[in-house]
C-alpha cells in the first residue's frame, strides 16, 4: 500500500508517504496559512505520490460523526480561516481516494497502539501537553468519539492552596489546560518555560496538576497505559514527579499490577515524535479497508 | 431462553428468572450474609428453575480480567466474608451453566443500553449515587473494563469555598463519594438525607458536586447519554440543579446537540429500578452465546 498521512496542526501541516507497517518513506512540512493557500500545496504533493488513501489527524474541534452533515469539517476553531472548513471533502474531491479522519491526539494514540508501546493493550490514553492540552483515547483498537471526541485537556481541577495563579482558559479558567499548558506556565512564572528548567517549584506544581488529571482519567476509564507527549513533557524530570503524585492521590485505593509499576504505566511517547503521523497512516489504511469491504 | 440473573449487593442478593427480551418472570431477594449461608440458597433457587445461563452484576471491586487467575472473584471488599471469594466459580461449579460477570453498575448501564433509553447509543454512562457512588460505562455495546473497571465514584473534586466539610472517603477524603454519597450528606448536615428534602442549600451543594464530576466525565469520554440512579437521586429536585451546574461549568466550550438539550442528556433511570437485573439477564445471554460460538 502507498498511504498518505497528514498531521494537520495550527502552525504546520506535516504530509508524509508511508505504508501499512508504519514505515515513513518521506515527509514534508508546509506552514499553516489559509485553506486557499495551504490545501492546494498539500493536494499537489499527495497527487504526485499516487497515494491509495489518506489519513488525516487534525487540530480540533472537528466533526467526527459520520451521520452529521458537517462530518469531516473543522468546526469552531479560533484559527478563523479554518473554521467550518470541510477538510475531508476538500481532499476527497481533489484526490479521489478514501480519507480517514480523526483528531490529532486520537491519531497519536492510534500510532502508539498500532506500532508502538500500546500494541496489544485494550485501553490506552495519549495526552499531549504543550501550547494546549489534548487527549486521545483508544479502546479495543477503536478511537473513542462518543458525542464528540475527548476534550479531557479541559477537565476541571483543584487549585493547590499555595498557587495564586488565576488560570487562563477562556472557558473554565482553572481547568488542566488553563493551569498547566505551556502558556499558563509562562504567565504564572513570568518566563519562558524552557528557561525555568532548574526551578524545582515550577515542575513540582506542574506535576501536581498533571497527576491530578491523570488520577481522574485512571479512576474514570481505567486505562492500561498512559502516554504523555508534547512540548512541556520534554521536561523529563516531570515523569517521576507525576508518578509520585499519582501514587499519592490514588492512595492505594486501586490495586492493579499496572499501578504497582508506574514507571511502565505513565510513559513518554516511544516513536521518535512520529506517533502522530504513523497514526495517520493507520487512519488511511483503515479508510482504504472500509472502502474495499 | 431461560436466563438467570443475580444482582449481588452488600445487603441483599436479588435473584431473577427472565428471557433475552429483558422480561422478568419472577424474582426473589435473599439477605447477604456469608457465602457459606447465602450462596447455597441462591444455587438451589436457580437449580429449581432450570436456567440455561446466569448473569451476575456484583458489588466490587471484582476481577474482570479473563486472563487473571482470580477472574470472577470479589477482591478487596470491606465486606470481609466476601473478600477474595470466587463467586463465578461457585455458580459455575454448582449450576454447570455459562456465567456472565461484571460490576453491578456495569450491569445497570447494560440494562439501559439493551432495553432502555440507552438503546442505539454508542457511549453511555450510568452513575448510581447512594451509600456509595458507582459508575458503569458502555461503549459500542461493550462494558468498559480497561485495567480494572471504572471507579469514577472516586474522582477527585474541588471543594466549594463555602463548604467546610472534610470529606469521608478513607482513601481520598474529598472525592465525589467522600463529599456527595448519602453518608457524607448525613454527616455534613447532621441529619438523615430524607429529612432534609426542604433544605435547598443541601441539594444545591449536592448538585454542585455531582455536576462537577459529570462535567469531567463529559470532557473525558464524551458520553451520548448520562443516566443517574441510586437512593440520593430519588431527590428528583436534583436533576434540574445538576443540569444547570453542568451548563455553567462547561460554559459553552463543547457545542453538541446533546448539550443543547440537557433534559434528555442527564436523565433518571428508566426501567423501574429493574435496569440492574435486566442488565444481568443480558450478561447471561451474552455468556450463553459466547459458549455456543
Q: What is the pLDDT of residues B36-70, one digit of tens each?
A: 999 999 999 999 999 999 999 999 889 999 999 99
Instruction: Give the gap in angstroms from C-alpha B219 to the nearest C-alpha of chain A.
Output: 5
> From the list A148, A172, A254, which residue is nearest B251 (CB)?
A172
The answer, for B160 touching chain A at a CB cutoff of 8 Å, is no
Instruction: Give the gap in angstroms from C-alpha A172 to the nearest C-alpha of chain B.
Output: 7
Tens of pLDDT, residue by residue over B226-249, are 999 999 999 999 999 999 999 999
Listed as ranges, residues in chain B with pLDDT below 50 are: none
The answer, for B122 touching chain A at a CB cutoff of 8 Å, is yes
Find chain A residues with C-beta within 8 A of B210's C-beta: none
**pTM assigned to the model:** 0.96
Interface test with B, best of A60, A67, A219, A259 (most B CBs within 10 A): A219
The pLDDT score that the predictor gives to residue A271 is 95
3 state SS of A214: helix
The pLDDT score that the predictor gives to residue A293 is 78
Nearest-Cα residue of chain B relative to residue A148: B222
The pLDDT score that the predictor gives to residue A60 is 82
Which of residues 18 through 77 in chain B touch A, CB cutoff 8 A? 61, 75-76
Q: Which three cell numbers stand for residue B196?
A: 432534609
Inter-chain CB proximity A222 and B148 less than 8 Å:
yes
3 state SS of A133: strand
The answer, for B146 touching chain A at a CB cutoff of 8 Å, is yes
> From the list B150, B172, B216, which residue is nearest A156 (CB)?
B216
Find chain B residues with C-beta within 8 A of A122's C-beta: 145-146
The answer, for B106 touching chain A at a CB cutoff of 8 Å, is no
> From the list A75, A216, A255, which residue is nearest B156 (CB)?
A216
Nearest-Cα residue of chain A relative to residue B225: A147
Inter-chain CB proximity B222 and A150 less than 8 Å:
yes
The Cβ of residue B21 has, within 10 Å, a number of other Cβ atoms equal to: 11
Inter-chain CB proximity A147 and B76 less than 8 Å:
no
Nearest alpha carbon to residue A86 among A72, A99, A98, A97 = A72
Instruction: Give the gap in angstroms from C-alpha A72 to the nearest C-alpha of chain B.
Output: 15
Instruction: Give the gap in angstroms from C-alpha B260 to the nearest C-alpha of chain A.
Output: 12
The answer, for B173 touching chain A at a CB cutoff of 8 Å, is no
Instruction: Give the gap in angstroms from C-alpha B103 to the nearest C-alpha of chain A.
Output: 14
The pLDDT score that the predictor gives to residue B80 is 87
The pLDDT score that the predictor gives to residue A82 is 95
Which residues face B225 on adjacent strands?
Answer: B124
> From the list B144, B156, B217, which residue is nearest A212 (CB)?
B156
Q: Report DSSP letters for chain B, one per residue.
A: --EEEEEE-SSEEEEEEE-TT--EEEEEEEE---HHHHHHHHHHHHHHTT-SEEEEEE-SSB---TTSTTTTEE-S-SSGGGTTEEHHHHHHHHH-S-EEEEEHHHHHHHHHHHHSTTTT-SEEEEEEESSSEEEEEEETTEE--TTS---GGG-B-PPPTT------BTTTBSBHHHHHSHHHHHHHHTS-GGGGTT-HHHHHHHHHHHHHHHHHHHHHH--SEEEEESGGGG-TTHHHHHHHHHHHHHTT-S--HHHH-GGGTEEE--STT-HHHHHHHHHHHHHHHHHH-
The pLDDT score that the predictor gives to residue A33 is 96
Instruction: Give the gap in angstroms from C-alpha A199 to the nearest C-alpha of chain B.
Output: 27
Instruction: Give the gap in angstroms from C-alpha B93 to the nearest C-alpha of chain A.
Output: 27
Instruction: Give the gap in angstroms from C-alpha A18 to the nearest C-alpha of chain B.
Output: 30
Tens of pLDDT, residue by residue over B151-163, are 999 999 999 999 9
Inter-chain CB proximity B221 and A150 less than 8 Å:
yes
Beta-carbon contacts of A187 under 8 Å, excluding residues fewer than 6 positions away, are: A165, A168
The answer, for B220 touching chain A at a CB cutoff of 8 Å, is yes
Inter-chain CB proximity B144 and A76 less than 8 Å:
no
Q: Which three cell numbers stand for residue A287?
A: 479508510
The pLDDT score that the predictor gives to residue A149 is 93
Inter-chain CB proximity A172 and B253 less than 8 Å:
yes
Find chain B residues with C-beta within 8 A of A252's C-beta: 171
> From the list A157, A221, A224, which residue is nearest B150 (CB)?
A221
The pLDDT score that the predictor gives to residue B21 is 97
The answer, for A94 touching chain B at a CB cutoff of 8 Å, is no
Instruction: Give the gap in angstroms from C-alpha A159 to the nearest C-alpha of chain B.
Output: 8
Listed as ranges, residues in chain A with pLDDT below 50 are: none
State the Cα–Cα distance between residues B183 and B133, nearest whole angstrom.
11
The answer, for B147 touching chain A at a CB cutoff of 8 Å, is yes
Which residues face B267 on adjacent strands?
Answer: B227
Interface test with B, best of A222, A247, A262 (most B CBs within 10 A): A222
> From the list A123, A135, A142, which residue is nearest B146 (CB)?
A123
Nearest-Cα residue of chain B relative to residue A248: B172
Angle, nearest 10°, between helix axes A87-95 and A35-48? 40
Nearest alpha carbon to residue A219 among B130, B111, B193, B176 = B176
Inter-chain CB proximity A222 and B256 less than 8 Å:
no
The pLDDT score that the predictor gives to residue B90 is 98
Amino acid at each position: 500500500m502507498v498511504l498518505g498521512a497528514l498531521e494537520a496542526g495550527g502552525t504546520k501541516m506535516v504530509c508524509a508517504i508511508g505504508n501499512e507497517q508504519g514505515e515513513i518513506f518521506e515527509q514534508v512540512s508546509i506552514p499553516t496559512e489559509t485553506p486557499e493557500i495551504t490545501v492546494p500545496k498539500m493536494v499537489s504533493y499527495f497527487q504526485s505520490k499516487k497515494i491509495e488513501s489518506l489519513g488525516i489527524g487534525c487540530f480540533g474541534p472537528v466533526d467526527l460523526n459520520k451521520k452529521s452533515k458537517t462530518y469531516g469539517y473543522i468546526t469552531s476553531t479560533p484559527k478563523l480561516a479554518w473554521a467550518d472548513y470541510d477538510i475531508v471533502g476538500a481532499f476527497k474531491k481533489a484526490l479521489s481516494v478514501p480519507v480517514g479522519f480523526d483528531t490529532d491526539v486520537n491519531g497519536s494514540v492510534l500510532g502508539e497502539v498500532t506500532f508502538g508501546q500500546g500494541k496489544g493493550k485494550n485501553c490506552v490514553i495519549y495526552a499531549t501537553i504543550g501550547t494546549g492540552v489534548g487527549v486521545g483515547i483508544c479502546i479495543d483498537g477503536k478511537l473513542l468519539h462518543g458525542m464528540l471526541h475527548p476534550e479531557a485537556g479541559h477537565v476541571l481541577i483543584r487549585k493547590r492552596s499555595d498557587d495564586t495563579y488565576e488560570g487562563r482558559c477562556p472557558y473554565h479558567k482553572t481547568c488542566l489546560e488553563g493551569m498547566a499548558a505551556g502558556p499558563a506556565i509562562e504567565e504564572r512564572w513570568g518566563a519562558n518555560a524552557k528557561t525555568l528548567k532548574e526551578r524545582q517549584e515550577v515542575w513540582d506544581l506542574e506535576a501536581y496538576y498533571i497527576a491530578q488529571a491523570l488520577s481522574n482519567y485512571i479512576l474514570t476509564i481505567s486505562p492500561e497505559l498512559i502516554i504523555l507527549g508534547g512540548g512541556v513533557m520534554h521536561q523529563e524530570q516531570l515523569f517521576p514527579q507525576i508518578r509520585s503524585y499519582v501514587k499519592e492521590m490514588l492512595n492505594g485505593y486501586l490495586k492493579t499490577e499496572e499501578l504497582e509499576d508506574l514507571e511502565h504505566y505513565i510513559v513518554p511517547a516511544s516513536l521518535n515524535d512520529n506517533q502522530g503521523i504513523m497514526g495517520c497512516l493507520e487512519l488511511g489504511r483503515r479508510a482504504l479497508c472500509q472502502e474495499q469491504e
